[in-house]
Structure 1
Amino acid sequence: MKNYQEKIEQLQSHFKTHNKYKEYVGHSSKVHSVGWSCDGKRLASGSFDKSVCVYTLERDRLNKEHTFKGHGGSVDQLCWHQTHPDLLSTASGDKSVRIWDTRVQKCVTTINTKGENINITWSPNGNSIAVGNKEDLVTFIDARSYKIEAEEQFHFEVNEISWNNTSDLFFLTNGQGCVHILSYPDLKRQHILKAHPGTCICIEFDPTGKYFATGSADALVSLWDINELACKRVFTRMDWPVRTISFSYDGQLLASASEDLIIDIGFVETGDKIADISVEAATFTVSWHPSLYLLAYACDDKDSYDRKRDAGSLKVWGFPSD
């Protein structure tokens, strides 16, 4: 415990001097999803305005590089390839998935799917993309041929989907507070975890492969041991349904966000609070940088001049406070 105490104090003092955020406006409507490329050089945002913005990170600032257009509906979720820093996939309400390549700054393929897509995940080995729609149908796409490999209709409310770090298990969180674990690629049910009394909203795997975390409508975040499927601890500082969570690159920090007016940053091994970020509105998405303590996030902010309009901005927190 003592060595954890030192680490906790170290991290707390780091964020006392690195607690500045910068805001970037790239969209005309609310930002639903943000994510960093695997090399950390780019940050992408997907918005209700049907576009995807890509920024490059240079020292202590982001520069807007490109806006991808083409989707005919809201871009609800995006994810980058986990080892190829130029490839980005997006799920949209226009019943399609698009793959974008930042080297050529265009859409390299469009995959038509059966329904309005709300979530997407790329397997860590890069071979497959899974996308879930509003009717709880999950479509599996071969990421090399861009052909649909399988479709699985679930008879419960599917919220977020994700592979484990070795890409051989597929996880779904559902409306009954459970996490369903399927083998991949044969999609045979391995386990159902009763994780929360309320709807299980989001799931995230830690980069070290030890844990995964789930966020729920009961305002709790629970941390699970991957091998034992046992709950290790619960983060209880939120008052509202937890919409989005993210582990830092070293697996030490877990950021959680909701309609609370703070984003909570906790120490994974003990649950201690390391820092929090004040926000002015519900937060839809958070994402830690893959090698730095920088957190990207987007809230339901309104334009400061016209309160009826969405701000369309994203923020990055963790810059040195000069």
Structure 2
Amino acid sequence: MSSSGTIDIVNQKTITSEVAASVTSKYLESTLSKNNTSDIEDERFIHVSSRSHSRFTSTPVTPNEVLSLKFHASGSSMAYSRMDGSLTVWFIKDASFDKSVKVYIPDCCGSDKLATDLSWNPTSLNQMAIVSNSSEISLLLINEITLKASKLRTLSLGSKTKVNSCLYDPLGNWLLAATKSEKIYLFNVKEDHRLVHSLNVSDISPNPNDVVYSIAWNNNGSHIFVGFKSGHLIILKVRDEMLEISTKIKAHTGSITGIKIDPWGRYFVTGSSDGNCYIWSLKSLCCERIIQDLDSAVVALDVCHLGKILGICTEDEMVYFYDLNEAKLLESKSLANHKSDLVLKFYPDKSWYILSGKNDTLSNHFVKSDKNLITYWKDMFDSSIIEKRRKNNNSSNNHSKRVIKNSDRIVKDRPSRFNSRK
């Protein structure tokens, strides 16, 4: 459902915020159409399809939620883990995934563990870190040729430690790992992933027994944003291989379920179980805009690579697309009949995105031949110009035909001096 008014962009002299919003809304509407949506045909899709087409299967499909989905910073690959313990990696070759290379690992962390989180090393096209709510962090190398994963090494922590989230910084200098309520760890990637510092969660949050719900790096890897169950947002600074508390903010009344940094370094966005989404200035750390009409808890959020579109998934199975600059709704769609835990992730190098399909499958949303929202704006403008010229030409041709037809009629009706000859 589109919420932005349609504007005739051909008659606009400049791209105003209203024009940009109108074109972006049109773009999103296009990505949600069937022509620009394709199912990602992984093992889950095959399983769901086979059961839905079987005459002998009457039991419902068992859920198999996506736990973590991450793109490599280059946009060349994507990986996600599921509740069944599997890891799927795609080396992306085209928009529809038809020619992409898939690597499937059934039990990537062992038969009794789940990959609760994963993160690509931005300095390597094939290396990632995986955690499984245990004391180990696995560094994997994914081979596109052999379609197999090999373990480079294991980072071991205390035997009672249960690390369930991990994240490389955008420059590939640091790896952050966190447990739910005990510690946050910092590893120096350039020094063979050496553990350099750790902080107690109880020393960071003002609330005792608080739980880490979300983490995010800023764009240059100097600060870490940590969202807590209590609604507190803690910003940590990396200095001399140490983690220091920089800022504490009581950001939300509910748990902070998602944090995303604007690619241009202007804003950071927090989403919460309280049903609100706040857009903060990275410079002043003040809240500049509030999205409070969601009517349900925020379960996932992401920002496109241009810093234009903010995507939000809510607990009532809705997906919303907002203009990040204006906090105005551009498009929305109900996924109530999908029976999925909602997932939304933009490509890091284009305005396409991955969204939940039915029964925990995944769908790819794109615009053919488009890699950038800006080029879509240009194509839309050019198409409008061509269409306008075509209509003008048709109108002119029709007028000419009428003139010629009338002229012929006059000539035929005119008395000829030769008609009187006998």
Q: TM-score per shorter chain, which class?
A: 0.7 to 0.9
Does 1:171 pair with 2:225? Answer: yes
- Is the CA contact 2:65–2:341 (under 8 Å) kept in the aligned structure 1? no
Q: Say if 1:33 and 1:45, in contact at 8 Å, map to a contact too.
A: yes
Higher share of residues assigned strand: 1
Deviates more, 1:8-17 or 1:67-76: 67-76
SS at match of 1:233: strand
Measure how far apart 1:268 and its partner are.
0.3
* Residue 319 of structure 1, CA deviation: 4.3
TM-superposed CA distance for 1:92, in Å, is: 1.3
Q: More deviation in 137-146 or 260-269?
A: 137-146
Residue of structure 1 in register with 2:245 after alignment? 189
Count of paired positions: 311
Instruction: For 2:196 and 2:93, locate their aligned partners in 1 and report how far apart those are by CA, in whole Å.
Output: 39
Q: 1:83 to 1:254 in 2, by over 3 A?
A: farther
User: 8 Å contact 2:313–2:320 — kept in the other structure?
Assistant: yes
Matched, 1:110 2:154: yes
Give the counterpart letter for 2:155 in structure 1. Answer: I
Is the CA contact 2:317–2:342 (under 8 Å) kept in the aligned structure 1? no
Larger radius of gyration: 2
Which residue in the other structure is 1:308 paired with? Answer: none
Q: Distance in 1 between matches of 2:295 and 2:120?
A: 31
| Correspondence for 1:47 | 82
Which ranges of structure 1 fall in alignment gaps of 5 or more residues? 303-310
Structure 2: stretches of 5+ with no match in the other structure: 1-13, 48-63, 203-209, 369-422
Cross-structure match for 2:57: none
- Report which of the two has the higher share of helix: 2
Are residues 1:255 and 2:311 paired? yes
Of residues 305, 317, 321, the one that matches 2:365 is 317
Deviation at 1:275, TM superposition (A): 2.0
Residues 32, 298 of structure 1: 8 Å contact kept: no
Deviation at 1:6, TM superposition (A): 0.7
Superposed displacement of residue 282, structure 1:
5.2
User: Could you tell me how far apart the structure 1 residues matched to 2:201 and 2:74 are?
Assistant: 34
Sequence identity percentage: 17
Distance 1:65 1:282 in 2: 22
Contact 1:78 1:90 in 2 (8 A): yes
Q: Residue 25 of structure 2: which of 3, 9, 12 is its match?
A: 12
Output the aligned Cα RMSD.
Answer: 2.4
Asked if 1:71 corresponds to 2:118, the answer is no
Letter in 1 for 2:122: Q
The 5 A counterparts of 1:79-158 are 79-103=119-143, 105-114=149-158, 115-144=161-190, 145-155=192-202, 156-158=210-212
SS at match of 2:68: strand
TM-score under structure 2 normalisation?
0.68
CA distance in 2: counterparts of 1:117 and 1:316, whole angstroms:
30
* Match of residue 416 from structure 2: none
Is the contact between residue 92 and residue 101 of structure 2 (CA under 8 Å) also seen in structure 1?
A: no
